[in-house]
Structure 1
């Protein structure tokens, strides 16, 4: 198994995020109630949210669990970036479902990213992306400030996609 490329493994689980990295925190409301929470959690941990958002995902298991190897590819045509990762933690709790993966060798960044769905006391379902990263490849160093912009755009896209998945499931349940 390839080694993770950063020492702060698991820092996205409860925080704080480590110094020396770019930090990303995006939170989006994606639904309401237990059924929406469960639908969102399944879409996140079963890779569906990523795939519908446009990423190609190859994982060593059908759902996120610690140790699962994941290769996420983004791009258009021949311009595709592949990011090898490993799930470093997963949570399947009463009001919190999600996981984080960390970067492995040949990933264009170094760091960790988590994708978590939470059911708040008022019934609101929240989706949060939290990450810390820094460039690991020449092209991500060269891209400089464009990388965090792209990461924020993708986090917003994931939230929008998850809201749509949950909404479609709600109409099917009616």
Structure 2
């Protein structure tokens, strides 16, 4: 279910749930293997939807935001100590919790240095393999992200791979 929160900085709300991704943006699609089995899938799905994956990856998510759900606005902050902090506000545009697929996407709100959407979806296939797919489309919305040029997509890819590693460990710990 897609929910279009007011104030999104892009018109293609929910596009990470469909293909193709919209033109005019940098596209990211990273898929990582997490392991095997229903218990691992359940643990990974819960970690994604409860923000535990984000927190384990070093992103601060307010405790008042217990789960990702359409319409939820979340203030995310990331940084190295108090001097190097970046805070952004996003809104969840869709979320899904099915037998073999669980995850959500959030989109950018005013003040975010980028413009676009990012999704985090855990799947369980017929062979019982569990994967995390991180899909995004974005473009610079601030002079600093425009100035950073190709560094921004590289950092997005690095963050997506970091999420896979963190979720792999988090889900394995909780699935046992």
Q: Smaller-chain TM-score range?
A: over 0.9
How far did residue 83 of structure 1 move? 1.4
How far did residue 2 of structure 1 move? 5.2
Residues in 2 aligned to 1:58 and 1:45: alpha-carbon distance in whole angstroms: 14
**Aligned residue pair count:** 171
Q: Cα gap change, 1:160/1:87 in structure 2, threshold over 3 Å: closer, same or farther? A: same
* Equivalence for 1:94: 99
Q: Cα gap change, 1:107/1:157 in structure 2, threshold over 3 Å: closer, same or farther? A: same
Moved over 4 A (4+): none
TM-score (ref. length: structure 2): 0.93
* Equivalence for 1:10: 14
Aligned-residue Cα RMSD (Å) equals 1.2
TM-score (ref. length: structure 1): 0.94
Which of 58-67 and 72-81 deviates more?
Answer: 58-67
Listed one character per residue, the Cα deviations across residues 20-42 of structure 1 (whole Å, up to 9, x for unaligned) are 00000000011211110000000
How far did residue 59 of structure 1 move? 6.4
Q: Which runs of 5+ in 2 are unaligned?
A: none
1:61 aligns with 2:65: yes
Match of 1:116 among 114, 121, 125: 121
How far did residue 60 of structure 1 move? 5.1
